[in-house]
Structure 1
């Protein structure tokens, strides 16, 4: 493993969770080298990787400037990064109570957004058997999550602290993945989201647009696009 960069990041060229941590690393100006695992070869389940992440999923990081600390689970990694490398609170909050508000949104992303968005993508795009009732179930969960966000974002510009933080940034990859054009190689007509995002959730759509226009996010997604071209 190379130690030329501050971090080694284990990710995947397409999987949304593999792109959440790079956004935070770029926002904080931290250097890293990414090892892209090949899921078709089962590299994420091989001992060479599970010695870092016993769950056999991405992402995981190694912090070479902090005794080679190894962390997995993207929201744990994100919390570690801002706690240790965002002293000016560029993308995090300083107030002790607001830290818990920030954490609650990270937990909501991990439990409320990621799993149903992923299941929707699986059953709509990738699963061999098309089961309308299951597709509808998870598409409805996407709408429920967007409704939660819309309820908050219709009253305030950002989720926590009156500024963009990791609470907001953590939602980008899965939002991008389910919106039209989000799955590489899949026609927009087969997009996971089958409703008008901007019309039904205008505040959430405007929030998402503000986030994806950030330079760090653009840089990460330009790389992702080049890798999947």
Structure 2
């Protein structure tokens, strides 16, 4: 059989799930290489040639001269343009999609990531920072409230359809249990979670390359908490 056009390098993180969700939703064949953080696979010289930032995910498009794309938002944008799905053609709806994609990339992801870092990695490794935790938890809650307001009277974040803005935002926002952020009172956001939770391709994607049910509040977090904190202990010691 011929190789698929898309080769995906990813790991089981919120950013790492984004291109998997896209590819599974669109029914696009792809090869997958799991990047193992425990052996610093993201810093391997061959991988850094594809992704100079040494992070995940990255795709290589074999049908486009082995063109490499890194940064999860850029990957979704590239795939949407390539395959003509999950990105509206109407100019205003297209712009809205890009705006909410950037909102996730610049706001939701970084703030939730810091809330997770200080509570799930720094604190278990002996660096308890109450000010930092409150700062990032509060800002995450504010951003989730912005999403809630946006979703009042609409099913999706941009235009009238499910887009890469939803695909990018969902794995982060839906991980509110792992960030220890309350969504009490955010009923429109909860309804949006329910709509995406019900999509079979999304649920399949969240098991690839590895399921992390603790992220979404589907499992006891205690065992994974220790594993996760230990995996990044060396980074905390450098700080």
| TM-score, structure 2 as length reference | 0.82
Name the CA distance, whole Å, in 2 between partners of 1:146 and 1:69.
35
C-alpha root-mean-square deviation of aligned residues, in Å? 2.1
Kindly state the Cα deviation for residue 125 of structure 1 after the two structures are TM-superposed: 1.0
Residues 31, 111 of structure 1: alpha-carbon distance in 2 compared, 3 angstrom cutoff: same
Q: Note if contact 2:61-2:68 (Cα within 8 Å) is conserved in structure 1.
A: yes
Q: Note if contact 2:144-2:173 (Cα within 8 Å) is conserved in structure 1.
A: no
Kindly state the Cα deviation for residue 113 of structure 1 after the two structures are TM-superposed: 0.6
**Aligned-partner SS, 1:65:** helix
Ranges in structure 2 where 5+ consecutive residues have no aligned partner: 215-223, 225-239
Picking from 64, 68, 91, the partner of 1:96 is: 91
Kindly state the Cα deviation for residue 226 of structure 1 after the two structures are TM-superposed: 8.0
Ranges in structure 1 where 5+ consecutive residues have no aligned partner: 181-190
Q: Higher helix share goes to which structure? A: 2
Kindly state the Cα deviation for residue 227 of structure 1 after the two structures are TM-superposed: 10
Greater RCO (Cα-Cα under 8 Å, separation 6 or more):
2
1:78 matched residue in structure 2:
76
Q: Note if contact 2:21-2:167 (Cα within 8 Å) is conserved in structure 1.
A: yes
Give the aligned length.
211
Name the CA distance, whole Å, in 2 between partners of 1:64 and 1:147.
40
1:225 matched residue in structure 2:
211
1:158 matched residue in structure 2:
156
Q: How does 1:1-229 map to 2 (within 5 A)?
A: 4-12=3-11, 14-86=12-84, 89=85, 91-127=86-122, 128=125, 129-177=127-175, 179-180=176-177, 191-195=178-182, 197=183, 199-223=184-208, 224-225=210-211
